[in-house]
Chains A and B, each alone.
Chain A
């Protein structure tokens, strides 16, 4: 216990990291469920339905399947690179989330005041780009080390795509940095507080709408998602750079892709959509009850679903889930928790909206051909981001005179 009192910051950080990892892994698993359900509905079918009520245990079944599959290693592969690539991809995808602030509230863990977010460096945005720029190695090494045609082509194409879109990703963000004058995430969100005309929130998506579209498009390309997922499309290159991977290593690539999706959506929320700031006026008291209301109504609906429309084991599962939702909803009514939850609630809502957009794009859009993809990145997105940067710099200069 004296270790705790001598190194309070370290212990609190370890606790926060453990909580974040647990929440993140669960969120990754249920993001796959969410994606399958939404894409299914877009395609006029129902999605996972049988494994647990409404298919809610499907991610668990998938995880067990991945663990128990036979682990096949291609014989002529380069062992070091083959084993390193999925670890690198997953580790880097998860590390970026240590830099993201989830809410402004300061609360106490073990007597140490701390914030909702693991760290807050003064150059946070630059460090996030540093970590994502090393992420190219995971893909390139995976493709090359498998010693087989399809992964090699997929790996080279995918890594070339990632480094091309990294440039316009970084450039489209510089407009936001110019407007705020800082690279620190807390200050970037703070620069978006306040309102125009008393009710339009001062979020960066309004003055930097072109930057937002460039950023989000580059982000979809950077994370290898539809419509930019040619390197890993099933009809094109078998499975691209992760063809020769099986069981747990494939699961790591899979998780890394979804973790990248979450990271990029969190970044878009912080940079363009005002982070944890509420779009409603702060004079009103009722938005404080929104998280509790949402959870209680959701729990009640699940309970009705459990009791009225299901039988047998599905009924029990849904009752358990609804009970958890109701308990959390009641917890959010405690004043101390209500203050902390407020920022987190808006942040998660915006991130959820962006992820829904990602999944919606996956269900709707056809994919680009590879040369169309590279043309789009270099000949359209890069000049548009540059033009956005120049115009923003000019406007900032004129307005500050």
Chain B
């Protein structure tokens, strides 16, 4: 059991446990906190795969800004406990097994694809992966990069207009 494998199992277990908790806790604020834990463990998994910049961006943007927005909205709307509903028989006895089957299907298919394609003929990791990423972002993918900045501007204006009270 090498250290990377051990770390993968630890962070993977934390991610799955936090995702399960997110489904089963009753208060939305606890779900939000569990989701933050999932995102942070995923950032650790990205670090384990050598994607340092992506790990940092995941924590700064996803866990540190988007989830803060979720937490604020939950506090604003004062979301209390989830109401208990009676699931229809269809949902309980057919829906849940089918979704588990779907997950298992995707997992098996993806694992098989992973073992087929994973011939490590790629070049070894360079010393500056972030520099390569920035070259890609600002040369090859410059147009999508600028387009996302306009997208974020549209989102800001849209959110402002939607959340404004008509007074």
Contacts and interface: CB of A to CB of B under 8 A. Distances in A.
Contacts of A134: 36, 40, 59, 63-64
Contacts of A80: 30, 33
Nearest to B64: A133
B42 interface: no
Interface stretch (A124-132, A311-319, A328-336, A350-358): A124-132
Nearest to A130: B59
B75 A81 contact: no
A159 B60 contact: no
B68 interface: yes
A61 interface: no
A140 B33 contact: no
A123 B68 contact: no
Contacts of B63: 133-134
Contact of A127 (B29, B56, B71, B130): B56
Contacts of A156: 72, 75
A78 interface: yes
B55 to A, nearest CB: 8
Contacts of B53: 123, 126
Given A122-B52, A122-B130, A130 B60 contact: yes
B29 A126 contact: no
Contacts of B135: none
A138 B108 CA distance: 40
Nearest to B52: A123
Interface string B25-47: 00101100100100010010000
Interface string A170-197: 0000000000000100000000000000
Contact of A126 (B40, B60, B65, B71): B60
Interface residues of B, number: 21
A140 B69 CA distance: 11
A136 B72 CA distance: 11
Contact of B72 (A131, A140, A183): A140
B27 A78 contact: yes
Nearest to A155: B75
A123 B52 CA distance: 7
Contacts of A137: 33, 36, 68, 71
A276 interface: no
Nearest to A81: B29
A163 B72 CA distance: 12
Contact of A123 (B29, B43, B56, B65): B56
B7 to A, nearest CB: 13
A129 B65 CA distance: 12
B147 to A, nearest CB: 20
B68 A136 contact: yes
Nearest to B68: A136
Interface string A144-174: 1000000010001001000100000000000
Contacts of B128: 122
A133 B60 contact: yes
A80 B32 CA distance: 13
A294 interface: no
B68 A140 contact: yes
A136 B29 CA distance: 15
A121 interface: yes
B59 A133 contact: yes
B56 A130 contact: yes
B68 A183 contact: no
A239 interface: no
Contacts of A152: 75
Contacts of A141: 33, 71
Q: Which of B27, B29, B40 is the most central at the interface, judged by chain A CB atoms within 10 Å of its CB? A: B29
Contacts of B71: 137, 140-141
A84 interface: yes
B138 to A, nearest CB: 12
A78 B72 CA distance: 16
A103 B21 CA distance: 43
B59 A123 contact: no
A344 to B, nearest CB: 28
A123 B130 contact: yes
Contact of B130 (A81, A144, A183): A183
B68 A163 contact: yes
Q: Which of A84, A121, A133, A156 is the most central at the interface, judged by chain B CB atoms within 10 Å of its CB? A: A133
Given A81-B30, A129-B60, A156-B72, 4 more contacts: A80-B30, A130-B59, A136-B68, A137-B33
Interface of B: 27, 29-30, 33, 36, 40, 43, 52-53, 56, 59-60, 63-65, 68, 71-72, 75, 128, 130
5 contacts: A123-B52, A126-B56, A130-B59, A136-B64, A137-B71
